[in-house]
Every structure is written in structure tokens, then in C-alpha cells.
């Protein structure tokens, strides 16, 4: 390859790198906007630390923990007695158990049921908490730091 061709290839790589970096920045900005909007709907006071969530679960057997991760994530470990309802199914399965009865184990919250959502790091659970609030659920909280935060706090898990 001659010098001119190498220069053209190098320039193309630089342009593509710049485009991809710009594109990633736009996606990150949009995600940040989605999460900030969700925080405003859910309320900062409802984004709770793992230990606070554990205290609530211990104090009130009526608290419903909803794990919104994917099946392979949930299978690796989860909060004892949590319901497994993946994020993509929450609107369909929060009140129904027709197609996948194992998903919500027949437990369906009322609009007043205390609900705590959890995912791997907190983002998906925050978005689900927003959806639940918009669906009329009044007492929805989410765990800051998600499952990773729960594990870091060395709180109990089920397998």
C-alpha cells in the first residue's frame, strides 16, 4: 500500500471513530434524560438504599419486591420471595399470570401495595418504577444500586 492509500485509510478510520463517539454520546445523553425523567416521576425519596429496602421487607410482609432482570440474571441469585417479572413484561404481567404463571406466582399487587423494584444496577428498575407509578400504583420504590448494591451490602439472597 502506498503512502497516499495509507493516509486515506487512516483518515477514514478517524472519521468513523469520531462518528461512533458522537453517536455513543447522543445515546448516553438520551439514556440520562430517560433516567432523569423517571427519577422525577418516582421521586428521589423513593430511590432507597439496599439496607432501607431490607428493613422495609423485614418490617412488612406485605411489601412486594419485583425483580425486573432477565431470566439468566434472576437465576444466579435474587431477593428471597421476590417476584420475577422482566422489564419487558411488567405492564402485561403485573396483574396477569395466564401465559407464564411462574412469573408472578399468582401474586398481584393492589394499587396500594408497597412495591420495591430491583434490577442489576438500578436503571431498569427505576424505569419500571416510573411505569408502575403511571399505571396508578401509589407506593413504589426502587433500590439504588440494584442487585449489585444489595450484594455489596451483604444482604440475604436466594438462589
In terms of Cβ atoms closer than 10 Å to its own Cβ (0-12, 13-18, 19+), residue 112 is exposed
- Residues 105-129 have a mean pLDDT of 91
Cell digits of residue 42: 418516582
Only one residue has cell 421476590, namely: 82
Contact 109, 129 (CB under 8 A): no
For the stretch 132-154, pLDDT in tens is: 999 999 999 999 999 999 999 99
Q: Which pLDDT score, from 0 to 100, does residue 146 have?
A: 96
42 compared with 95, residue with greater pLDDT: 42
% residues pLDDT > 70 (the chain): 75
Q: Which pLDDT score, from 0 to 100, does residue 95 have?
A: 77
DSSP string, 9-70: HHHHHHHHHHHHHHHHHHHHHHHHHHHHHHHHHH-GGGEE-HHHHHHHHHH-TT-EEEE-S-
Q: Whole-angstrom Cα distance, residue 133 to residue 78?
A: 23
For the stretch 93-108, pLDDT in tens is: 887 655 555 655 667 7
The yes-or-no verdict on residue 6 having pLDDT over 80 is no
- Residues 35-62 have a mean pLDDT of 94
For the stretch 50-83, pLDDT in tens is: 999 999 999 999 999 999 999 999 999 999 989 8
For the stretch 11-33, pLDDT in tens is: 656 555 544 544 445 465 787 88
Amino acid at each position: 500500500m502506498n503512502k497516499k492509500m495509507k493516509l486515506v485509510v487512516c483518515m477514514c478510520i478517524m472519521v468513523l471513530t469520531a462518528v461512533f463517539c458522537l453517536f455513543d454520546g447522543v445515546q448516553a445523553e438520551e439514556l440520562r434524560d430517560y433516567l432523569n425523567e423517571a427519577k422525577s416521576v418516582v421521586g428521589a425519596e423513593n430511590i432507597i438504599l439496599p439496607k432501607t429496602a431490607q428493613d422495609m421487607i423485614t418490617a412488612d410482609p406485605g411489601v412486594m419486591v419485583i425483580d425486573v432482570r432477565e431470566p439468566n440474571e434472576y437465576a444466579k441469585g435474587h431477593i428471597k420471595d421476590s417476584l420475577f417479572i422482566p422489564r419487558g413484561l411488567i405492564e402485561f404481567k403485573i396483574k396477569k399470570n395466564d401465559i407464564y404463571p411462574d412469573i408472578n406466582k399468582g401474586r398481584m399487587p393492589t394499587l396500594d401495595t408497597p412495591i420495591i423494584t430491583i434490577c442489576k444496577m438500578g436503571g431498569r428498575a427505576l424505569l419500571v418504577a416510573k411505569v408502575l407509578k403511571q399505571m396508578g400504583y401509589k407506593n413504589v420504590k426502587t433500590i439504588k444500586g440494584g442487585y449489585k448494591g444489595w450484594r455489596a451490602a451483604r444482604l440475604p439472597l436466594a438462589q
